[in-house]
Amino acid sequence: MIAYVASPYGFAESTRLFYTERLLPVITRHVDVIDPWAVELPSGDDPWLALGDVHLASIADRSDLVIACLDQEPPDNGTVIEVAWAAAHGRPVIAYRNDLRQGGEEGLRYNLMIGAVVRHSGGVEVGSLDELDAALARFTDT
| Position 14 pLDDT exceeds 90 | no
Helix (H) or strand (E) holding 57: helix 47-57
What is this structure's pTM?
A: 0.90
State the greatest distance between any 2 C-alpha atoms of the chain, in Å, as a whole number.
45
Q: State the average pLDDT over residues 34-63.
A: 85
Return the pLDDT at 42: 74
Q: At what angle do helices 77-88 and 47-57 cross, to 10 degrees?
A: 40
- Ranges assigned E (strand) in 10-128: 32-34, 65-69, 93-96, 124-126
* pLDDT-above-90 percentage for the chain: 62
Task: Give 39-44 contacts, CB < 8 A, sequence gap 24+.
Answer: none
* pLDDT-above-70 percentage for the chain: 99
Fold assignment, 2-140: Rossmann fold (3.40.50)
DSSP 58: I
Higher pLDDT, 139 or 100: 139
Q: State the average pLDDT over residues 107-123.
A: 88
Query: Residue 28 — pLDDT band, cuts 50, 70, 90?
Result: very high
